[in-house]
Structure 1
Amino acid sequence: MGAAALKPEGQTERPATSATPDVDVAIVGAGLSGIGMAAHMQMMCPGSSYVILERREQIGGTWDLFRYPGIRSDSDMHTLGFIFEPWKHEKSIADGPAILEYLNRIADERGIRPHIRFGTKVLSADWDSARALWTVKTEDEAGTRRSVTARLLYLGSGYYDYDTPHDAQFAGREDFRGTIIHPQFWPSHLDYAGKRVVVIGSGATAVTIVPSMTHKAAHVTMLQRTPTWYAIRPARDALANALRRILPEKVAYAITRFKNVRLQNLVFKRARSQPEKVKDYLTKKIKAALGDKYDAKTFTPPYDPWDQRLCLVPDADMFEAIKAGKADIVTDHIDRFDATGIQLKSGRHLDADVIITATGLRLTMGGKIALSLDGVPMNFADHFYYKGCMFSNVPNLVAVFGYLNASWTLRADLISDYACRLLNTMKAKGAHVATPVLAADHGLVEDNVFDFSSGYLQRALTIMPKSAAALPWRLNQDYVYDKAWMKASPIEDGILALGRAQPAAQAQPQLEAAE
């Protein structure tokens, strides 16, 4: 079924009862999560309707937003790719354009694009208990406001703020005579040929930008406060490419995906159980890549591997740039910017023509949409995760927050499959409402699943949903376990209550009891 058109605000085309929303599912975001959910609906719920609400003018989400040099995945595409669609490129560590091509091809081949409403920003969504539906209000670039009603709201809007990145508040910015750029807002025609570039930061973005800019810049310096753990791996997966030559595409992809999922899982668990061994392994690889350019101070973080996400260095490209003298890494603290560069607290000065502030992201939940339940504002932090995608005492809401220790799409695939099974069960039972019920005296023990020291995570803890020590009230961080558990756990598990519309006066006390 095609998606219903959005209605101008205040205009009603037909009565919105518990049986007649405009669409069965309103999907927010046309990135990996949103396109993945749409594809699953095409396969698993062919009789259900949906619309994708996308504020940008193109498919891709993160991969359309970021345009900095060398933009690429920090996971292999056999796990960042969807379970249902093989990755066919030679490189498994893919650049942004290749990932966009993959998403656009899926959208076109599977007939998803006609369901997307581009240039449509979601402002708010209110759950109406009496009618058992969400009313989603949107605004286009011309300022026209419209609304659409949906049985299920699916948030595939990512996990960080597209409008406002983290601002490190460096003193003296106004004194610098060169160009200052945040990677989230990369200018399309920046000319840095022959210029001195300083990249502030040592995360995945900085590690990508540094070697990519050395091809044109006079020199590129990565300025880090704290060293990072790096993992070196080939950009091409030799086994995957060999299998593709002798096996059907889908079979080769499934084998490679299985191998890479298990390898990711093994490395993470080994880092937690035997951190010293993993440190030694990573250090030996870096030493081998750098030779006499290796410096222990620069490459020995004060934390264990996977206390923060490992930074991937495909084909050791950043280390090759350092060995060639085109790049270097400086470990120091910034005192202030000045007219010609950056004054460090050690007394050293870094001359620069261009400064890149790769200082981190600002996390957000649900794309900053104003969510409410029968008109009462909803705060994610007041609710527990349920099965890693729904929320305690919140009806008909599903949201994607990917794994911290593995590829984002692994959880997105699990959640899309679960949401489709939930929709089919609701239709079979004649139910309009699905609510994970948690009593006020639940006695759950909270657990910080964001047990990572990364700044962007620590800054966002107060806005994140709660997570318990045990399933199902937990955002688990083990895909291998989750995949088996989600498949075995029934939709009707004694916790998820299926029902029909009810007056708000009856529904609200239950919601308040959990908060």
Structure 2
Amino acid sequence: MTTAEHVDVLIVGAGLSGVGAACRIQERLPGKTYAILEARDTIGGTWDLFRYPGIRSDSDMFTLGYPFRPWKNPKAIADGPSILSYIRETAAAHGVVDRIRFGHRVMRASWSSADARWTVSTEHGATFTCRFLYLCSGYYSYESGHVVDFPGRAEFRGEIVHPQHWPASLDCTGKRVVVIGSGATAVTLVPALASDASHVTMLQRSPSYIVARPGHDALADRLRALLPEKLAHRLVRGKNVVMGTLFFQLMRRLPDRAALALRKRVAAQLPESIPVDPHFVPSYDPWDQRLCLVPDADLFRALRSGKADIVTDRIERFTADGVLLASGRLLEADVIVTATGLKLVAFGGIALEVDGRAIEPGEQRAYKGMMFGGIPNLAWCVGYTNNSWTLRADLTSQYVCRLLAHLDSRGFAYCVPDPSSASSAGEPRPIVDLQSGYIKRAAPGLPKQGGRRPWMMRQNYLLDLADMRFNRLDDGVMRFGRAGARAGAAR
């Protein structure tokens, strides 16, 4: 019988969040043992998986990057390969690589109150035990994106690809390309493909709000030339946090004026052949869905060049030669890219049990957006929807370190949010509080949040920063227990 490897903290996922979590554990809890289980054979998560043309961040790298490792690249809005290199360099510099177990896809995890530990099983039969389980695998499936079964799909004579699985051999040079979608992936693909394709059409059922901003941060460049590296990084990061939070709050409080301002900015960059309405007039308010970022206005440059255009219509069916629209128009194509969204999954698809009781993700309430009522010593790392992912991911990792230090100092074996207090937090709402189609489809199977703290996931970094760093851990909702006591009896 093989003996299970035991560590204090077991991290699932070696992407941006998992590497950051490992660095924080080493920094804050140097005596703790940890390991990272990574299903794939390399570091990088999202930034290694997605390899479609033009892939880039839609957040500035001073906030998407780690606060403890300054971003040195001159691009504030970075391309995917640069971000991947940054993650891997961080892992190597902090000695994280040796703690990663590649090819270890976690299938199930079971908590025992008698032993105060998790037993974690992987796809190929390896077993680990840990005191604390930290899920840093995000909330979308790495297996496949959301695939729409368009009528006539089998009739199309060209190539159909989904951005999540972009073929390395695909060459769009001189070809007619139709990109189906209006989200961040579509607005990234169109200008990237337009440089070589004969023509690219972005086909959308409904438009999204789009914001153009410079790919370089002029203030950051000046500060980095004048100040020490770490100080300049902190100042630019702070500036971007405040500005991002301010713009979000203004847009949510004044949606009509914000929508008008966004449309005017887009109109100023469009060619006369492409009207704002209907192509850039969404049916929802700003930030009901995430805004699409266009660095250096590259999408609008592609539209003005004539190499790309945009069509707002519904798909009737695919044909042998392209896409037939509800209006009767045929979009001829050699390649169709279905940028139709992601497939969301809770807890990385891991089957969880607590003292023999199966955990249904859709029935769980999230405590501070990271832990769950009745589930001991487990945290799920998810980022902001209105700001950089890493801002919240790093706060979560720091909070996990605070919890572990508290357990050690008080002689406790585990901590668990009391689920009974969640009933006073109001009606459950989706934990990912956006109106995008792929999020609505997945909402029943994802954990929920309430309408009041601490069962509410706030989209406000500044408030969360104060809460997670300084507020009491024993807040009357978080319970603490010793080995042998069932989670429900924790005090």
Taking structure 2 as the reference length, what is the TM-score of the superposition? 0.97
The C-alpha deviation readout for 1:28-60, integer Å capped at 9, x for no partner, is 000111011100011100000100000111111
State the match for 2:188 in structure 1: 208
Equivalent residues in 2 for 1:109-128 (5 A)?
Answer: 109-128=93-112
- 2:78 is equivalent to residue 94 of structure 1: yes
Q: 1:60 aligns with which of 33, 44, 57?
A: 44
- What SS does structure 1 have at the residue aligned with 2:420? coil
The residue type equivalent to 1:456 in the other structure is Y
Q: Which residue of 2 aligns with 1:237?
A: 217
Map 1:354-373; keep pairs closer than 5 Å: 354-373=335-354
1:8-407 to structure 2, matched below 5 A, reads: 10-12=1-3, 22-139=6-123, 144-295=124-275, 296-407=277-388
Kept in 2, the 8 Å contact 1:293–1:322? The answer is: no
Contact 1:467 1:474 in 2 (8 A): yes
Give the residue type in structure 2 aligned to 1:465: P
Superimposed CA distance per residue, residues 357-381 of structure 1 (whole angstroms, 9 cap, x where no aligned partner): 0001111111101111122211122
On the 8 A contact 1:384/1:465 being kept in 2, the answer is yes
Query: Secondary structure of 2:278's match?
Result: coil
SS at structure 1 position matched to 2:120: strand
* 2:215 and 2:295 in contact (8 A); partners too: yes
Point out the more displaced range, 482-491 or 432-441.
432-441
| Counterpart amino acid of residue 72 in structure 1 | R
Q: What SS does the aligned partner of 1:270 have? A: helix
Matched residues in 2 for 1:207 and 1:220: separation?
A: 11
Unpaired runs of at least 5, structure 2? none
Partner residue in 2 for 1:501? 483
Task: Kindly provide the amino acid, as one letter, of the partner of residue 378 in structure 1.
Answer: I
One of 443, 464, 471 as aligned partner of 2:446: 464
* Partner deviation per Cα, 1:285-334 (whole Å, 9 max, x = no partner): 21222242440221111111111100001000010001000100000000
Mapped to 1, the partners of 2:249 and 2:273 lie a distance apart of 31
The answer to whether the 8 Å contact 2:182/2:202 transfers is: yes
CA contact (8 A) 2:344 2:439 kept: yes
8 Å Cα contact 2:61/2:76 also seen in 1: yes
| TM-aligned CA distance change 1:489 to 1:186, over 3 Å | same
- Measured in 2, the distance between the counterparts of 1:361 and 1:138 equals 24
> Take 1:498 and 1:303, find their aligned partners in 2: how far apart are those partners?
44
Q: Which moved more, 1:432-441 or 1:420-429?
A: 432-441
SS of residue paired to 2:286 = coil
Give how far 1:441 is off: 8.5
In structure 2, the residue corresponding to 1:137 is in which secondary structure? strand
8 Å contact from structure 1 (residues 78, 253) kept in 2: yes
- Supply the distance in 1 between the matched residues of 2:16 and 2:338 (Cα, whole angstroms): 26
Partner of 1:481: 463
Report the equivalent of 1:443: 424
Change (3 A) 1:372 1:46: same
Equivalent position amino acid for 1:364 in 2: V
Check conservation: 1:287, 1:294, Cα contact below 8 A. no
Distance (Å, rounded) in 2 between the aligned partners of 1:79 and 1:293: 37
Q: CA deviation at 1:355?
A: 0.2
Q: Cα distance, 1:388 vs. partner?
A: 1.5
The verdict on how the C-alpha distance between 1:333 and 1:484 changes in structure 2, with shifts beyond 3 A counting, is same
Q: Name the SS of the counterpart of 1:290 in structure 2.
A: coil
Amino acid aligned to 1:367: G
Partners of 2:76 and 2:446 lie apart in 1 by 32
More deviation, 247-256/480-489: 480-489
Contact 2:271 2:303 survives alignment (8 Å): no
1:492 is aligned, of 434, 456, 474, to 474
Deviations along 1:424-469, one digit per CA (max 9) or x if unpaired, are 1111122111111132784331253644221111111111222111
Counterparts of 2:272 and 2:313, CA distance in 1: 21
* Residue identity in the other structure for 2:175: K
- Percent of paired sites with the same residue: 52
- Provide the C-alpha distance between the structure 2 equivalents of 1:395 and 1:136, rounded to a whole number of angstroms: 14
| Between 355-364 and 269-278, the greater mean CA deviation after superposition | 269-278
SS at match of 2:416: strand
- Conservation of the 8 A alpha-carbon contact between 1:80 and 1:409: yes
SS at match of 1:398: strand
Tell me the TM-score normalized by structure 1: 0.92
Gaps of 5+ in 1: 1-9, 14-20
Q: Choose 145-154 or 263-272, whichever is displaced more.
A: 263-272
Contact 2:422 2:455 in 1 (8 A): no
Q: 1:171-192 CA distances to partner (integer Å, 9 max, x unpaired)?
A: 1110000000000010011111
Counterpart residue type for residue 292 of structure 1: E
SS of equivalent residue, structure 1 residue 126: strand
- In the TM superposition, residue 476 of structure 1 has moved relative to its aligned partner by 1.6
Which one-letter code corresponds to 2:147 in the other structure?
D
Paired residues of 1:286 and 1:294 also in contact (CA < 8 A): no
- Contact between 1:137 and 1:148, CA under 8 Å: does it hold in 2? yes
In structure 1, C-alpha distance between the alignment counterparts of 2:432 and 2:20, rounded to whole Å: 24
CA distance in 1, matches of 2:111, 2:407: 17
Give me the whole-angstrom Cα distance separating, in 1, the residues matched to 2:226 and 2:22.
31
The one-letter amino acid of 2:2's match is Q
Q: Equivalents in 1 of 2:11, 2:83: separation in Å?
A: 20
